Amino acid sequence: MKIVLASSNKGKIKEFNFLFKNSNFKIIPFSEFSDIEIPETGNSYEENAFLKAKKAFEISGLPVLADDSGLEVESLNNEPGIFSARYSGEDVKDEDNNKKLLRKLKNKPNRKAKYVSVLIFYDPMKKIEIYTYGELKGIIGNKEIGAQGFGYDPLFKIKNTNITMAEISFEERMKVSHRAESTIKMLTELNKFQRK
């Protein structure tokens, strides 16, 4: 089965391709159908994922996989949350968002955080709408460390380690990340209905 991935994020595309490589599903990037950026105007991860999936389906006519994910920092009332990619404004670099996060955490002793991933599989032709969830707990470090990954990874120290997400290998990331968790759950769900 072909599934359109409603994302233009190169890091996410690489992750989904890896996680789906031994499945019966072929991931096709949305860029093969359109170069539009689907706006995230929802008030939750679920709403944003649904909006992306709906639009991608309208354009491609194929079943869609869409993800909305973010970083939630406990002492900042779960900021940046759904605004993680545009925390310091539209069309900004990861470094800008990381600098803003460090500024806001200055003098705050509680640096607990978690990555959240909400995934939707959307196929209105078969009336299927499946959501799965993943999370990864950790703390926010005082400076960026590591050159792997993307987003807040150089600041995010994985729970019970002193290692950031930007220091681990891609293969290791695919075992522990929030997106890996939600995707593995989704594959389980998709395999169930394929067997029916």
The catalytically annotated residue of 68, 94, 123, 153 is: 68
Of residues 38 and 50, more confidence is placed in 50
Q: Minimal CA–CA distance to 157: which of 170, 148, 169, 167?
A: 167
Residue 40 confidence class, pLDDT cut points 50, 70, 90: confident
Q: What is the arithmetic mean of pLDDT over 43-67?
A: 97
Residue 175, amino acid: K
Residue 195 pLDDT = 61
Q: What is the pTM for the complete model shown?
A: 0.92
Proportion of the chain above pLDDT 70, given as a percent:
98
Mean pLDDT of the chain: 94
Burial string for 73-85 (b: 16+ CB within 10 Å, else e) reads: bbebeebbbbebb
- pLDDT digit string, tens, across residues 170-179: 999 999 999 9
Q: What is the arithmetic mean of pLDDT over 109-116?
A: 97
Q: What is the arithmetic mean of pLDDT over 10-24?
A: 91
Residue 196 confidence class, pLDDT cut points 50, 70, 90: low
Asked if residues 38 and 52 have their Cβ atoms less than 8 Å apart, the reply is yes
Asked if residues 99 and 80 have their Cβ atoms less than 8 Å apart, the reply is no
Q: Is 91 a catalytic residue?
A: no
Domain annotation for the chain: domains and CATH numbers? 2-195 (3.90.950.10)
